Each structure stands twice: as C-alpha cells, then as structure tokens.
Amino acid sequence: MAHATSQASTPVSQGGRPEGEPVKTISTKEAFEAYEAVRHRLPTVAASGARHRRAETLADIADGFDVFLLDAFGVLNIGETAIPGTRERIDDLRAAGKRVLVVSNAAGFPHAALTEKYTRLGFDFAPEDVITSRVALLDGLKSREDLHWGLMATRSTGLQDFEDLTLSYLEEDPEAYDRVDGFLLVGSMSWTEPRQALLEAALERRPRPVLVGNPDIVAPRETSFSIEPGHFAHRLADRTGIVPEFYGKPFPGIFELAFKRLGDVDQSRVLMVGDSLHTDILDARSVGIASALIAQYGFFAGHDAEEAVRAAGIVPDFIVERP
C-alpha cells in the first residue's frame, strides 16, 4: 500500500512554486535550444526529404485519417484554459466516425483528476481514452513494485494510482534520498534547487535507477513555460552520468499503450497532433505514424514554426494553424 515519509511539505504558493522562490521563466528560443542540447538522449529518426503541408485546421486534413491522437497542452488547453474551437473540432471528428484519444505527458496528476479537468474544460473523454506518461510509467514499474522509491511530486496532488508502491516524498530531509532504492520524477511543480542538489549528491554517493514520468523539459502555460521533470532529469544525467529511464513522448511505450487501446487499426490512417517538435512530432516519426504540428498555440505560439522545423530537422507531415 502506498505510503510517503518525509518532513512536512514546503508551503506552496497559489502559482504552484514554494513560497519565497521566484517563478522561473523561459523563452521559446531557450526552450527549443534546451531540447536541441539533449538530442543525443532522444530517439533518432532517419532524415526525411519530404516537405510538410500547410492547413488551417484539422478539418482540412480529416479525410485522410481515421484516428486522431491529441496532445493536451497546446492542443486541448493552455494551462487551465481550453483552446477555442477544439471541443467543437473533436465533436465534428467524432460525428464523421473518427476516433479521438488524448496522448499526453501529464504524469503529475492522478488519472481521475486529469479526466475531471478535461471535463471541466468542456471535453468529453472516457478515462480509458486518455493515455498519459503516468500510465506508461506505472506499466514500466510492474516488475519493480517491491522497491522503495523516492518521489518527485507535489503532495497536494496525492498518491492515487501509486497505491501499490512504497514511496517517500523527496523534500528537505537528506536521509530520504539515501534510504530509497530509486527515484521517480513525476511532477516538478514544487521542486526546488536545494532538492535537486540533494538528489544529485545522493546519486553521486550511490547510483540508483531514475525513472522519469514526464520527459517534457517545458510545458506551455497561459503566459510562459513551466519547467517540467525532463529538465531536471537531463540536468542530473549531465552532472552524474546516470541516464534516466524516460516514460512518455518521445520515448517508446506510450504509443504502444495507445495502440493497445485502439485495437486493430490501420496505422497509416493514424495522426498525432501536437505542439512540440521534440516530443509529439519526433515520437510520431519514430513509430512511423503521421503527425501534425500546431503552430498558433502552445510551444510555437507567436513564433515561426517552419523555421524551427528547418533548424531541428524534425519534419511533421502537416503544420496546422489551429486544431
């Protein structure tokens, strides 16, 4: 049964950061460069000589696909705000006989809380049609449930879905970092630089497995990017030499869960829709399905998505202005 031991949690402000700690901000250029800097840890795909096509909305390309896999941040919502027109677009796709699933690196929240959030924002997804990196992480933990894990997560989100694991929150107590068998990096909303230093020091003293439930380096919010677990995972890899195990886009596993949910489908008729070249589009390319990059919302909002495609060499099949 899940239990967590540690000191009392650090007070958290309404914005999700510990009180007294300045909120970190990062520009689109800096976020893009951060992903490029870790390309050696991301899946590799063969260079493509094909060019993308432009479209205004998913309605313009819907006839070519039977299944739409939608990222959440940048496609369904930005932070706590639904993207205008997306709910109506999903309704139209379903009315045309299309299947629509969410495939998201949303590991920081319990599955039930996440589906409730989508309902609150006006979306109608069955819980089993929401495939997250949290689910992928739990799938990867099936053979290691007997270990004691140190958990990067925010206490207020709770331990639902992790009931079968033995856990200790990673906070200010150095002993918590030393007594566990490995580390789960799930949510970074309340993570701090002192906690990162304790984690890296503990790994240098005694190397152990590091499993990352959200490979994202950043996520688009209403006014800026938030810093996600992938940022801290790559930092500790650079500083300790320990290569984490990543669960979620663009790494293998999460699409396998999506296809298991879909059953027997023609993968040439499946489209991944996302706002990030280095997660959504790269993962689609790596598994051989088509992809569409959203240009007007999310990662590249207000920026030149085509220039980023040329710079990264990660080419989607489509650049779509909005869902």
Task: Supply the CATH number for residue 113's domain.
Answer: 3.40.50.1000
pLDDT tens per residue, range 226-275: 999 999 999 999 999 999 999 999 998 999 999 999 999 999 999 999 99
Domain carrying residue 155: 137-246
Peptide bond into 194 cis (omega under 30): no
Supply the pLDDT for residue 192. 97
Angle in degrees, CA 142, 70, 307, rounded to 5: 115
Give me the chain's average pLDDT, please: 91
Pair (157, 141) in one structural domain = yes
pLDDT tens per residue, range 144-183: 989 999 999 999 999 999 999 999 999 999 999 999 999 9
E-strand stretches of the chain = 53-55, 67-70, 77-78, 81-82, 99-104, 130-132, 148-152, 166-169, 182-185, 210-212, 218-220, 225-227, 245-246, 270-274, 290-294, 318-320
Supply the pLDDT for residue 201. 98
Pair (311, 171) in one structural domain = no
pTM: 0.90
pLDDT tens per residue, range 117-152: 999 999 999 999 999 999 999 999 998 989 999 999
Supply the pLDDT for residue 8. 32
Pair (259, 242) in one structural domain = no
Supply the pLDDT for residue 11. 31
Pair (292, 257) in one structural domain = yes
| Residue 106 within a domain | yes
Pair (277, 213) in one structural domain = no
Q: Which of 140, 165, 139, 168 is nearest to 153 (CA)?
A: 168
